[in-house]
Structure formats: C-alpha cells, structure tokens
Amino acid sequence: MLLCIALESSSFLRSVNRKSEPKTELQPDVDVWDILRRAPPSEYEKIAFQYGITDLRGMLKRLKRIKKEEKKSTAFLQKLDPAYQVDKGQKIKLMVELANPDAEVKWLKNGQEIQVSGRYIFEAVGNKRILTINHCSLADDAAYQCVVDEEKSFTELFVKEPPILISHPLEDQVVMAGERVEFECEVSEEGAAVKWEKDGNELKREETFKYRFKKDGKKHYLIINESTKEDSGHYTVKTNGGESVAELIIQEKKLEVYQSIADLTVRARDQAVFKCEVSDENVKGIWLKNGKEVIPDERIKISHIGRIHKLTIDDVTPEDEADYSFVPEGFAYNLSAKLRFLEIKIDFVPRQEPPKIHLDCMGQAAPDTIVVVAGNKLRLDVPISGDPIPTVIWQKVNKLLSESEGRVRVEMHEDHCIFIIEGAEKPDEGVYRVTVKNPAGEDKADITVKVIDVPDPPEAPKIINVGEDYCTVQWQPPKYDGGQPVLGYILERKKKKSYRWMRLNFDLLKELSYEAKRMIEGVVYEMRLYAVNSIGMSRPSPASQPFMPIAPPSEPTHFTVEDISDSTVTLKWRPPERIGAGGLDGYNVEYCKEGSTEWVPALQGLTERTSALIKDLVTGDKLYFRVRAINLAGESEPALTKEPVTIQEILERPKFWLPRYLRQTLVKKVGETINIVIPFQGKPRPKITWTKDGQTLDAKEVGIRNSTTDTILFIRKAEHHHSGTYEVEVQIENMNDKVAITMQIMDKPGPPQNVKIIDVWGFNVALEWKPPQDNGNAQISGYTIQKADKKTMEWYTVFDHYRRTNCVVSDLIMGNEYYFRVFSENLCGLSETAATTKTPAYIQKTGTIYKPPSYKEHDFSEAPKFTHPLVNRSVISGYNATLSCAVRGSPKPKIFWYKNKVDLSGDAKYRMFSKQGVLTLEIRKPSPFDGGFYTCKAVNECGEAEIECRLDVRAPGAKGLQLAAIGAQKGFQQWDSLLMEPSARF
C-alpha cells in the first residue's frame, strides 16, 4: 500500500496512532488475594510482577495466617472479610455488623490501636461500625482487627501500587563488534521491577554472565560489555504498565586509518611517493587527482601491499602539481594531500629584458585550470622574469584584488610571485589574471581556479511503500554535487520521539531508492540521508514525513457456510491469524454468480462480527462467497468458498453433538446453577423432547429452551431430587437421534454416627465411630477429628482428611478431661455438624513409679528391602514430576538416587525427600533431556537393595496438559497410600 503520501497530514497521523494503539477497556478490579489463593506456587512471581507486589514473601505469610474456618461469633453478626485490597491514593471502608448496637468497638492496626485523624474516620450506623482510611499509602498495607469485648475480627489490607509507566523509552543502536552497548530507559517510580527480553526471550542473571543489569533511581540499564554479531536483535524492557522496544545492529566492518597521506614539495625530475596505511589489508581503493581517477602508466605506479597503499610518480613535472586523494572502497573516507612543484631556477637573462610569465599553459588555447578543495589553501606560484624586476598585478573578473580582504595575500620574490587565498570557498572560483610590467614592456596570463566541495544536502526523502516491517525510500540527487560526481548515499532512520539517528548502510547506496527492513510494526519513524562525493559527506537532508510500518491483515480463517435456506445463506469465519498494529476495522463480504466475474457487496459497509446472514437471494442460484479483513493499511487476501453454493433448503439428518464433559456423570453441588447446552444439527427445524427417568420434565422446576442449533436445560438451584438420567431426543419426520445425560447432585454429608471412647491409657485415647447415614450423594473422602479441654471448650483439630473410622489421639495432658468430635467430609466439604462424645475422657494421673520389666534386647537389624516399587511414568515437559517408592531396613539405610547410572546427589535440579520410609525424588520442570532410567539404591551395614523405573518426558499440548494434571493427582494419591502403609516405615 502506498501509505506515506497520506501521512503528510497531521490529522491522518493522529488517526494512525489511534488505530495502532491496542484497544483499552475498563478492566474490572481483580482480587489479588483470591488470585494468589488459587494460583500454583510456580505462578507467584509472575503474579507479583503483573500486579506490582513488592513484598511477595511477606504477603504469602499473611495469606497463610488468614483462617479458613472461624468459630461462630456471639458479638459479630457480620465479620470483616478475610482480605481487602485498594489502589494507592484511594480510600477503603472496613465494615462489621454487631449483635449488640451499644457495644464498644476498638480498631487495631498491626496490634496498635488506631486514633481518630484526618485519614482515619470511625462511623456508627445502626449495628454497623465502619473504619474509613483516606488516601491509602504503602504504610497502610497491614493487618487490621476490630475488637468487641473479648472477640476479635481479623483482616488483611493490601495497598496496590499504580502501574509502572516507561517515561523515557529505549533507543535503537548501531555499534561495531566488540564495542560496549548500553540500553537505558526511565520509569515512573524508583525501585520498580522491570523485565528485559531479547527477541521475546527473557534475560536473567543466572542464565548468562554476558548481560549486566543496573538500576539508578528511576533509570534502568542493560549493559553488554563486548558485543558480538549474535547480540543483534530487538531488545524489550517491560513493566506492569507498558513496554519499550529498540533494535541493536552489530556491524562487523570497521576501518581505521593508521597513517594518512601527507603534503609533498618535489623538485623537477625527482620522485613523489604518497603512502597511507589502513586497518584492513583486504580493502581496495582508488587514487584521485583533482577529483579524477589516476590512471597508472610508465611514470605513475600504484601499489597495494598488505595494509599499505602507495602512489609513486617518477620524474615529477609541473603538470603533476595537484590535490591527490585516496578513497577506500565501501567506506566514506577521503584521505587528501597536495603535491607542490618546486620551480627550477630560471636561466640568466640579460638586463633590460621585457617581463615574461613562465607558465606551461601559455601556448595553449584554454587557460590553465587549478582545482582546490573547499576549505584548503589556494596557492598560485607563478615564475616570472624581466629586468628590472617587474611589478605584478592580480585581477579577478575585472575586480582588483588587494591584501586587505584578509584571506587573500600576494608574495613577491626575485624570480617568481605567489598568490594565496586562505580557506578557499565557492565564490573564489573564476578566472584570475596576472599582469607583470617593467619599463621594457608587460606580459599577461589567465589562470582558471575551480573550487570543489562536498555536495549540498539532498531534499527530504519520500516513503513510497510501507509494509509490516519495511518501507521503500526514494530521493533525488542534490542540486549541487560539489563539483565532483556523487559516489553514493548514506541513509539514516530514527523513531519520531527519539533524538538518536541510526545508520542503515555502511556501503554507499548507488541507486536513488532503498528498501529499509527490520522495523517494528506500529512505531512511527523518520528517514534522512547524506550525499557523498570524493571530497566527503554532505550535511543531512531534512527528515522525511513521519510514517508507521503497518501491513494489511492476513485473510480470515475457517470461512464456512453455516446454513442455507431458500433465500438466505449464513456465513461464518474466524479473525485473521495476523492483525498487526493497524488493528481491524471490519470485514467486507461479497458474492458472485457462477460464470460471472462481478462481485456484489453482500452487506452495506463493513461488519465487525465474524458471521453474516445474507438475505433476499434467488432460489436456485449458484453463488461464490468471499470475505476480506480490512484495516488502515488496506484489504487482506480474500477467504473464498471453494465450490459454488446452491441457494435451496437442504434436508439434513438430525444428530446431537454431545460435549465431552457430558459423556460422563455430571456432578454438581446442591444450590448450584445447572446450565446444559447440547448442540445438534438437522433441517428443517427439528422437534426436541426432554425426559427424566422416562417421565416428562416439570416445567416449574426445569427450564428448557430450544434454538435452531442447540437445546438448553436450565435449573436455577439444584436439589437432591434433580439427580438421575435425562434423555433428549431430536426428531425430523421419521428420523431421530437420542442422547442420555447422568446427573449427580451432591451436598455436604451428615455427621458420623456413634462416636465412642474405646480406651484410655497413659496420654492416649482411642476413638471409634461409624460412617454417616447421609453421605450427601457422594463418597465420603475422610474425617476431621477435633479435641477440646473441658475447662476451655476450645476446639483444636487433631487429624484432617483422616480416612479410617477409628483413631488414637495422643499427647494429652494428664489430669485434664477431653471431649472429642468428628466431622465427615466429601467433595462438597465438611458436614455442617459434628458427632461429639457424650462423656469426657479423663487422663488419669499416675501415683506410683512404673518399673518396666527387663527384656532381652532383640536384634532388629535387617537388610534394606523395597516394600513399594518405583513405577514407570510419563510426564509433560515444564511441570514438576515426582518418583516415589518405600523401603524398610534397620539401621536406617542411606539412600542414593541415580539417573542412567549417574549420581544425582549434587544436582540442584533434583530434590530428595525421605519420610517414614517413603522416598521421593522431585524433578523440577523436566525437559525431554531429563527422560531415562532412574535408580534408587538403599544401603546399610546389613546389605543393600536397589530398584529402577523409566521416566518419559513429553512436549506439552492440549491433551498433555490434561494428562499432567491427572498425573499430578495420581502422584499425590500414591504419596498418601505410601504414608498409610505401616510396612513403609523404617
């Protein structure tokens, strides 16, 4: 697309910037506490960076202290929420509701009572007590308590800092290989956390010592001390509120001049040698004389040996006096020097000789031409003769020159005169006339002086073609080439808001256009260029009009015909895979009759939806359809129907598409909303019938809604009697299809039955109970056992998730009496009430000293023996994996783990655990290279044993993630089962 012409208008540039920015919508407030509760530990650092949490460790400790269950309160009708969060600078209200409206309330912060001030406001509205904190700061991030009498209500307040913005972005850089690179950016807050990425991969200190990160207040630096070619790429700095991208180009070519050529003054018939030395011995170059290339002959020799370039002139003559330059190929260097010819002494002339000017060009038709580089000294050395010594007059185009002009002066000698102009300029060009007079006569000569210079700066380049990451730049030659042919051009670019220009080429551009690449889509750039001739480089041209690299989107995907009737067609598609910085303005839908080439718009204007209903079509027509995605850069390639579509109703056999999660028992909790959507196909519109256990559904309890593509069963509040098998049938004429759905509605279980104290001895009490009568329509997964001292009646949990129906409570205090209660548990949670022992258990004090009988010491020594083997496993790459087994032996054996016979003891990637004979090897985020055979070896003084398994590590995928979750669940179940086996303990 030719985009740059339009970019000249500022209004269009503003619209481009608006299009290129991502759409920002008001995001709902997120509860960071809730996110941390639900997230796995591996995601904690990512969440902390995203939401600006600076003290993650402290927040996790506070999160752990928030109680999951609180005993019933007599002072509070409504307690504080477990946690609150507020943005920095905003206000927050903490509210409780009291049972007694006349009760006194104290508010504490980190255990200290809060006093009324401008920031802390206390309110009492009926039974409600409200603490308002105005203009929250990081100091308000603390634990708060509301105290009524002896009861307390706890909460945690998290003050969220505003997002960190990038106030000064990164700059593009071009350096030579081996040089130091330093990227610098500035953010809105001091001490903010930032991430550095290279080509989308995060850079970390522990991964490489190549990169160095530095903070200085609001400024952040990424430093590469010695850059290499591999460091080229796009570098990104990210905060939780923005990002900045810059490009680094490492250029390997660099030419240094070790020795430049020097001015020479040579007598007639002598030899003149110009010599220079550069850093690269492979660099070639050309020699210029007054801007024209020197052609070698018998008298003039050009040589190149290693890094040294020579120009040798034998038998120097006056014609050799000139400015000589050496220009290395591929580099904008110009090494210049001047050769001066020392005049040979003039022969003796007799007295009263008329004056004479001795110039080699006197007999030629054209005047002598002297070429000088602008800024250099112009020196005209003219031999003269005559007796008496003649008077010399210099003139330029009828203008008398005098020494008063400052830069111009004349020197007189017996046999020659010298005309000098310091720092020659363009206006000094022209024909200079020298006149010599004495009583015997006069003589004249004209000398043409030509001043050459660097070219004028070219006009601003034009951008004629813009793509996703490239553009085509065109320009015109400079109006004045400096008197020498333009050898090429140098192009530079920069970001519009930046001040640093980046050079795009090191070899001179010979053409008047160039395709610049490796730009970032959505960033506004400017271009400028320099013209280069044999003298040097011009000043930079004006910058081009700002432009933004953007490209049209790719074609829409999954373009299909969803439905056809006698006069309509429903089309459906998905957004393009690549939308780009230009955003997406909408879609253009067209159709064309078979055999025709005319495409007719199917809709008026663009549609933002990814589906379209085309109406008022002629029955029987065969049509092709196509859709294009449109953005600021233009249209995408069309997505086209491969075959023509006939406009007529099609009889389609009815069929259900049962979702995968409905193919097994659907488990819901009592009180939850049930919304089952079952898609189907069939034309014309089929008849839908729902039944439950063979009976018609009650419309008062179950809602049914049918459309042309799906049927929905809706239950607002699930109850036990909604459990059962539901059948749905779709029927068209004599064709039908059926599916069945099994639904299980669960509730919390009832309390266990008959909790009894079976025995009391020493510090121990044995309990026994029976499973609950009502299991809540779900399997009992365990029990929670609690104890309470009769004096305080405060309940403490002894066991949770306990699976047996009997247990032994130990470590009781002698002389105290204890009550015990048991909760049952299923997938819905703990039972609402507990079964409590009717009488307390008294831990009797002993009055006599127990003398244990003496037994012969038994030898318990035993060689190691694995009671539970290692199991072959297959895990997903990137997820922590564990291998577990159980061993028995006395004395306690030493454990060694091996992978492919290699000891893993010193490897930080692996963690080894041993608990009551259960051995576990944890592999942190395994990769495919961590697959192989793992061996566990147990050794004690009685012998040794070992066991082996195979571990396969697979790349992640949609199915792989599901298997990883199942594998992790099985791993925990296996750990529990191993701990429950007494034979697994040492």
429-467: burial string, b at 16+ Cβ within 10 Å, e else: beebbbbbbbeeebbebebebebbbbbbbbebbbbeebb
pLDDT over 70 (residue 623): yes
Instruction: Report CA Rg, the chain.
Output: 46
The reported pLDDT for the residue numbered 250 is 82
Task: Examine the domain organization and report whether 180 and 92 are in the same domain.
Answer: no
* Cα–Cα separations (whole angstroms), residue 553 to 299, 550, 583, 587, 604: 66, 9, 8, 11, 21
Q: What does the alpha-carbon distance between residue 136 and residue 86 come to, in Å, rounded to a whole number?
A: 8
- Which residues lie closer than 8 Å to 747 by C-beta, 6 or more apart? 669, 670, 720, 776, 777, 778, 828
Residue 850 has pLDDT above 70, yes or no: no
The answer to whether residue 22 is domain-embedded is no
* pLDDT at residue 638, rounded to an integer: 93
Judge whether 580 and 630 are in contact, CB under 8 Å. Answer: no
How many domains are contained in the chain?
Answer: 9
Q: How far apart are CA 787 and CA 819, in angstroms?
A: 6
SS3 content of the chain, % helix, strand, coil (to 5): 10, 45, 45
The verdict on 445 and 361 lying in the same domain is yes
Model confidence at 361, in pLDDT bands (50, 70, 90)? very low
pLDDT at residue 404, rounded to an integer:
40
> Last residue of a domain, which of 608, 625, 647?
647
Q: Does residue 695 sit in the same domain as residue 771? A: no
Find the mean pLDDT for residues 476-497. Answer: 90
Cα–Cα distance for residue pair 385/358, rounded to 1 Å: 8
- Is residue 53 over pLDDT 70? no
Q: What is the pLDDT of residues 954-983, one digit of tens each?
A: 987 655 555 555 555 555 455 555 555 544
In sequence order, the 6+-apart residues with CB closer than 8 A to the CB of 77 are 97, 98, 99, 127
For residue 671, the SS3 value is coil
Print burial letters for 755-768: b (CB count within 10 Å at least 16), e (below 16): bebeebeeeebebe
Whether residue 443 sits in one domain with residue 362: yes
Q: What angle do CA 74, 77, 81 make, to 5 degrees?
A: 115
Encode 728-745: b = buried (16+ Cβ within 10 Å), e = exposed: bbbebeeebbebebebeb
pLDDT tens for each residue of 119-140: 888 888 888 899 999 888 888 8
pLDDT for 765 beyond 80:
yes
Domain end point (choices 224, 251, 278): 251
907-909-910-911 Cα dihedral, nearest 10 degrees = 100
In 3D space, the residue among 424, 480, 476 whose CA is nearest the CA of residue 456 turns out to be 480
Cα gap 737→339, rounded to integer Å: 103
Q: Are residues 223 and 267 in the same domain?
A: no
**Residue 7 above 50 pLDDT?**
no
Q: How far is CA 586 from CA 170, 572, 615, 617, 788, in A?
A: 33, 14, 20, 23, 68
Kindly report the length of the chain.
986
Residue 900 lies in a domain: no
Domain-located, residue 16 = no
576 vs 170: CA distance, rounded Å: 31
Contact 505, 529 (CB under 8 A): no
The whole-number average pLDDT for the span 398-414 is: 66
Average pLDDT over every residue of 919-929: 91
Residue 46: partners with Cβ closer than 8 Å, 6 or more residues away:
none
Identify the domain boundary among 603, 620, 647: 647
Average pLDDT over residues 600-604: 90
Residue 337 and residue 280 share a domain: yes
User: Does an H or E element contain 17, and which?
Assistant: helix 10-20
User: Token pair 């006093």 is at which residue?
Assistant: 115
In a domain, 726, yes or no: yes
Q: Do both 638 and 672 map to the same domain?
A: no
Query: Does the pLDDT at position 605 exceed 50?
Result: yes
Q: Is residue 943 part of a domain?
A: no
Geometric angle at alpha carbon 253, from 247 and 256, rounded to 5°: 125
- Residue 805: give the domain boundaries: 752-843
Q: Using the 8-state DSSP alphabet, how is residue 19 labeled?
A: H
**570: number of Cβ within 10 Å:** 15
Are residues 366 and 417 located together in one domain of the fold?
yes
How far, in Å, CA of 331 to CA of 537, rounded? 11
Q: Do 123 and 137 fall into the same domain?
A: yes
Residue 650 contacts residue 564 (beta carbons within 8 Å): yes
| DSSP codes of every residue in 534-581 | SS-BPPPPPPPPPB----PPPPPEEEEEEEE-SS-EEEEEE--S---T
What's the CATH code of the domain at 302? 2.60.40.10
* Co-location of 794 and 740 in the same domain: no
In a domain, 972, yes or no: no
953 domain-assigned = no
- Closest alpha carbon to 161 in 193, 185, 133, 134: 193
Q: Quick one: 771 and 833 in the same domain?
A: yes
Residue 364 falls within a domain, yes or no? yes
pLDDT at 959: 55
Phi/psi at 463 (5° precision): -100, 115
Q: In whole angstroms, how far apart are CA 234 and each of 295, 307, 546?
A: 47, 36, 21
Bridge partners of 472, per DSSP, are 465, 515
Coil/strand/helix, residue 152: strand
Residues 416 and 490 in one domain: no
Query: Percentage of residues in the chain with pLDDT exceeding 70?
Result: 85
pLDDT category of residue 423 using cuts at 50, 70 and 90: confident
Nearest to 448 by CA among 431, 433, 426: 431
